[in-house]
Structure 1
Amino acid sequence: MSHNTGHSTPIDTDPNQPAGGSAAPPAYRWRWPALAALLVAEAMNLLDATIVQVAGPVIHTDLGGSAAAIPWFSASYTLMFALGLLTGARLGDIAGRRRVFRIGVAAFAVTSLACALAPTAETLIGLRALQGAAAALVIPQTFGLIRAMFDGDELPKALGTIGPVMGLSAVLGPVLGGVLTHADLFGSSWRACLLVNLPLAVVVLVVARRLREDRAPVRPRLDPVGTALAMAGTALVVCPMATGTPGPAGWAAAGAGAAVLVLFVAHQRRTARRGRAPLIEPALLRGRAFPAALATSTLFFAVMNGVMITVVLHLELGLHRGPLTAGLTLLPWSAGLAAGSWAAGAYLVPRLGTRVMHAGIAALAVGLAAAVLAYRSAAPDVYPTALPFALVVAGLGTGLFTPPFFTTALRGIGPQETGSAAGLLNAVQQLGGTLGVAVIGGVYLAGDGTPRGAAQAALGTAGAILVATAIAAAAMTARPQDRDRDRT
């Protein structure tokens, strides 16, 4: 993402604004409806990362194909979403964020309709990838468009609405997917999960005409070499890992991908030395803190998405419950996340700082352990009645983690690096979700014995990843004085 994202300048102005005078110009009168449109677009794009998780087994029954394709109904979307974020941000810098935003929303609506009409599982996976690419045009524009419409005390309030919308959208997706699939409106079944985007997109496009155009003060160029290296390296690393059992060829591909990503970093440094705008600021990767934040984000959201897909697969494939049961079972997770986010932001973080982030990881670990016990204590073919209580604790941990994590990850980041840092964090969050769904979901699908045993194995894998998350989070916050020294 361009380093200019956080310092954009509005191109057009409010027609009611006076031409001169020392008084502060009046606030842009359409700013709040326009903000609502941006938030709806954010929610629409992020909901689609998880909304088909609950519907996955129903889609498999309807379209056929291998059960191994079920995690990819979501993973193909999030993978292309993540891969396209850097390019989407750069296009907004060049062509104007309002223009790219509107194109992205329109493309998202078209691909949503195409996904809803998909005749086969393979076609759906491919179309979901295109839908993720369209989402990557939308999400990176939000920050700059908000800055173009708000200033003063209103700006942090407007920006503060993004985090809750992102968090709630991610966890409410499975709930909404379960309700829509179960409702079977006009015989649409799972297709309603995708068709719901169409009226939302129309509303967003109508209101988006009131957005102020915004682009980087100095237009950067596209970086096709850097883009190709980033996408190729990431795909080579993620895709073999996402199979759950990479094998020798998969590990070789992942190693090649890591080498390509090293070349990408070298290319970005060379681009910066030549005075051009890199896709990411190389200074972000110096020292330990921000790379540790990227690792923490990847691992944490892998756990979060992996646990959700495990619950869905166990209930629908293992116990043959419907999508509504799966969605409602995940509702306590959403409630816990909302409560944890509110408590962290309003009370805990101002008093306890980064300790709240570590407490969130610990609470998620307790929730995972409680979920394993819930599965173990229930009969093999019986709904684990203690599971919703475990998910409340897990959701609470997720909510406690998120607000201090993003604040800590961006601490010490220079103004010229903020946009690039935020883009990288968003990208690795989506990549982590992709890996979690594919890897942890793959462990469940590959499990032998009872569905209960497969669920315990999948949650055990999630627990191991959470241990790595705790280690990475400790590296983020250890000896913060080193961060300042590394960045000078």
Structure 2
Amino acid sequence: MNLLDATIVQVAAPVIHADLAGPASDIQWFGAAYTLPFAVLLITGGRLGDIAGRGRVFRAGVAGFVIASLVCALSGSAGMLIAARAVQGATAALIIPQTLGLIRAMFDGAELPRALGSIGPVMGLSAVCGPVLGGFLTHADLLGSSWRSVFLVNVPLGLAVLALAPLLREDRAAHPPRLDLPGTALATLGTGLLVYPLIEGDAAGWPAWTWIALAGGVAVLVAFWLQQRGRSRRGRAALVEPSLFGNRGFPAALVSSTLFFAVMNGVMLTVVLHAQLTRHADVLTSGLTLLPWSCGMAVSSWVSGACLFPRIGAKLMFGGLTALLAGTLLLIAAYAAEPAHPWAAGLALALGGLGLGMFTTPFFSTALERVRPHETGSAAGLLNAVQQLGGTLGIALLGTLFLRTGAASTALWAAAALLIANGLATAFMIGATVPRRRGRAGR
């Protein structure tokens, strides 16, 4: 449910906007309002599970997610929907961090790797099903629900999860950490000040307040970093372990993750907007347009994990970025040639999807390779957070470029530039891990 909701609404967003009215920037907020609180509250959600019990926090998160989904479905205005989406994202941040801990509490021995291994296919299935399911449910107009069924589908699923939740074994940290509420507030304020003007600035004509907000966002995030270092020096729990940044490769991994997921989410939104607003395709057709992208990612993820990554290693990420860049450039050419060669866009999206799977499979293991055991929780939480933040920024940036120009090519050229920058960050990340490997080989 959590992963589907990050993508399922993108296909339905233009239909929602047509029904509820409001400024065009609302199309971006329907997605960003979910991913932004999801990103900044993930680490705090994990700490709450350590303190109050992962099973208890998991159940509270699912209950909140179901209620927020119902409010989304019943929303009568864009503002109400955006607010409910923000609550959805916040409750998702309570759920996701508990899953690994609960699995570790319930399984051991040979069962544990099989249980953990089930997560990957579920994530891949979510990536494949999200856009297509969003298009299908909206087009089906079940009982006259139109786009509202995109949110209503969470209600029976969530109730089924709650019915099975008593089977979960309660688990909490032996030495629960303290919450860092000031750090959470600073991170939320800083990222909000960055994202809000990126989405609203173009429609407003980029007045002075947008630039003040952007500068303020940077200043608040600098204050957040100083606050985290101060807490760590005093021996108090911090959201982010500052020692992570002593490893040159980890900051590069954060930059690479942000850029990659900005491209992934931004290109998906661009394709949907082009299909519905430029080609005037219906919502089901626009959802099916993304099927080659999703299927390419699913196939590539499996092949990369089973065959390519064990042989090629971290350098496989360069192959993924190259395929994604080639797919993006081919998509620009395909859109320029429309309506001739209608198959070209599908081929471009399939190639891009193959690149997605080739990159994501080796990325997380490479990013965490030099992380020390006591830093693992903070590192994993931070990587997940910047993944969601990158997706939010991609929606804001590429969505704004499309809505401003009405041309998908403008947004896609920006995506190509982000991929080139991502290649540089990835090279730096991989380079930081090579000396250690060579050192091990020498020993």
Which TM-score band (shorter chain)? over 0.9
Of 84, 96, 99, 1:127 maps to 84
> Would you say the 8 A contact 1:49–1:170 is kept in 2?
no
TM value normalised by structure 1:
0.86
Q: TM-score, normalised by structure 2?
A: 0.94
- The answer on 1:429 being equivalent to 2:387 is yes
Deviation, 1:313, is 0.5
Task: Give how far 1:478 is off.
Answer: 1.2
Instruction: Work out the CA distance in 1 between the residues paired with 2:57 and 2:235.
Output: 26
* Aligned partner of 1:388 among 336, 346, 354: 346
CA distance in 1, matches of 2:46, 2:245: 19
In 1, the alpha carbon distance for the partners of 2:266 and 2:180 equals 34
2:167 pairs with 1:214: no
In the alignment, the residues of structure 1 paired with residue 161 and residue 251 of structure 2 have an alpha-carbon distance, to the nearest angstrom, of 35
Q: 1:333 touches 1:395 (CA, 8 Å); kept in 2?
A: yes
* Whole-angstrom distance in 2 between the partners of 1:171 and 1:121: 27
- Picking from 463, 474, 485, the partner of 2:427 is 474
Find out whether 1:446 has 2:399 as its counterpart: no
- C-alpha displacement at 1:484, in angstroms? 9.1
Q: Is the 8 A contact 2:334 2:341 kept in 1?
A: no
* Residue of structure 2 equivalent to 1:40: none
Q: 1:231 to 1:127 in 2, by over 3 A?
A: same
- 2:42 equivalent in structure 1: 85
Residues 248 and 432, structure 2, Cα contact 8 Å, conserved in 1: no
Which residue is equivalent to 1:25?
none
CA 1:251/1:170 → structure 2, altered by over 3 Å: closer, same or farther?
farther
Q: 1:173 aligns with which of 99, 117, 130?
A: 130
Indicate if the aligned counterparts of 2:368 and 2:379 stay in contact, CA closer than 8 A. yes
The range that moved more, 386-395 or 473-482, is 473-482
Q: Deviations over 1:202-234 (max 9, x none)?
A: 111111111111111111222221111221122
Question: What do residues 315-336 of structure 1 show as CA deviations (whole Å, max 9, x unaligned)?
Answer: 1111111110011111111110
Matches within 5 A, 1:30-429: 44-243=1-200, 245=202, 248-379=208-339, 384-429=342-387
The alignment of Structure 1 onto Structure 2 pairs a total of residues equal to 435
Hey, what's the Cα distance between the residues in 1 that align with 2:276 and 2:341? 11
**Post-superposition offset of 1:180:** 0.5
Letter in 1 for 2:367: A
3-state SS in 1 of match to 2:8: coil
Distance 1:164 1:361 in 2: 22
CA contact (8 A) 2:327 2:349 kept: yes
| Distance in 2 between residues matched to 1:80 and 1:136, nearest whole Å | 8
- 1:242-292 Cα offsets, whole Å, 9 max, x none, are 446455533332232222222222222222232222222111122321111
Q: Cα 1:226–1:479, aligned 2, differ >3 Å: closer, same or farther?
A: closer
Cα 1:230–1:262, aligned 2, differ >3 Å: closer, same or farther?
A: same
Q: Which segment is superposed worse, 396-405 or 156-165?
A: 156-165
Give the Å deviation of 1:50.
Answer: 1.0
Q: Is the 8 A contact 2:249 2:432 kept in 1?
A: no
Q: Equivalent residue of 1:354, what SS?
A: helix
Q: Tell me, what secondary structure is at the counterpart of 1:413?
A: coil
Please report how far the alpha carbon of residue 171 of structure 1 lies from its aligned counterpart in structure 2 after TM superposition.
Answer: 4.3
In the alignment, is the contact (CA less than 8 A) between 2:270 and 2:411 conserved in 1?
Answer: yes
In the aligned structure 1, how far is the partner of 2:109 from the partner of 2:238? 30
CA distance in 1, matches of 2:2, 2:229: 32
What is the deviation of 1:167? Answer: 3.8
Distance 1:213 1:105 in 2: 16
Cα distance in 1 for residues equivalent to 2:88 and 2:355: 30
Question: Quick check: which one's helix share is greater?
Answer: 2
When the two chains are superposed, the root-mean-square deviation of aligned CA atoms in Å is 1.8
Q: Which residue of 1 aligns with 2:441?
A: none
Query: Which residue identity does 2:328 align to in structure 1?
Result: L
Alignment partners' CA distance in 2, 1:383 and 1:216: 58
Question: 8 Å contact 2:275–2:286 — kept in the other structure?
Answer: yes
Residue 320 of structure 2 aligns to a residue whose secondary structure is: helix
Give, in whole Å, the separation in 2 of the partners of 1:210 and 1:466.
44
Q: Give 1:412 shift.
A: 1.3
CA distance in 2, matches of 1:364, 1:168: 20
1:403 alignment partner AA: T
Q: Determine the C-alpha separation between the residues in 2 that align with 1:443 and 1:291.
A: 28
Q: Which residue of 2 aligns with 1:20?
A: none
Write out per-residue CA displacement over residues 80-110 of structure 1, whole angstroms, 9 at most, x where no aligned residue: 1112212211111110110000000000000
The answer to whether the Cα contact below 8 Å between 1:50 and 1:171 also exists between their aligned partners in 2 is: no
Q: Is the 8 A contact 1:105 1:138 kept in 2?
A: yes
Structure 1 CA distance, aligned partners of 2:261 and 2:274? Answer: 20
Give, as a single letter, the amino acid of the residue that structure 2 aligns with 1:477.
I
Q: Is the 8 A contact 2:197 2:214 kept in 1?
A: yes
Contact 1:319–1:383 under 8 Å retained in 2: no
